[in-house]
Amino acid sequence: MLSRALPPISVGIDICRISRIYKNLTSPLATKFVTRILAPEELETPFTRGILKCVFTPSRSPPPQHFEDAMDLRKDPRMKKAAEFMAGRFAAKEAVIKAYSLRKLSFYDIVVTYQNHIPALLENETPSDASHEKQESPSQGQPKESAGPPVAIIKGNNTSENTYARLSISHDGDYATAVCLAMLEDPDVSD
């Protein structure tokens, strides 16, 4: 049987255009877009609040009227960082959904975080502002190495526990990509 010969590993990959996310973040529906993608646990972290502050704070400048204006990411560097961050998170969640294709996952079922932040999230706490300031730099758009590699927490339900998966998120030019490596439960193993 072929399924016995295959290891219980699955890979998901996704790519996202940053300028498309930038256009969403500069639209009147920006807040709705962000809250549709990020789980409440993600929105509560000081780093996420900091990098997305420009989205949740009304701007005095009008949103771009044409797609070409939205593609000019140099106009607002804070919004560019927010768009890069959201494009990475969007790609990561899509990669997780593809890696766990047999499960019916939504964006809210997946929390993208960093390995060293998992203990605080499991205790329903957010890492303190002080620890984030030491570990993360919003000007760079991602945590420093001390936060550990990115991981996905796939929330469990009444009958299952949380599942964890490794992620790799990368940005280059106008694109963000993500890869998810998932360890699947082996159906042949009985408890």
Residues 13-63 have pLDDT tens digits of: 999 999 999 999 999 999 999 999 999 999 998 889 999 999 988 665 555
Q: Give me the pLDDT at residue 3, please.
A: 60
| Other Cβ atoms within 10 Å of 20 Cβ, number | 17
Which pLDDT tens digit goes with each residue over 116-134? Answer: 888 766 665 545 443 443 3
CB-based contacts of 163: which residues, under 8 Å, 6+ apart?
100, 153, 154, 156, 182
The whole-model pTM stands at 0.78
Closest by Cα among 10, 16, 39, 166 to 91: 16
pLDDT for 6 beyond 70: yes
- Rounded distance between C-alpha atoms, residue 106 and residue 20, angstroms: 21
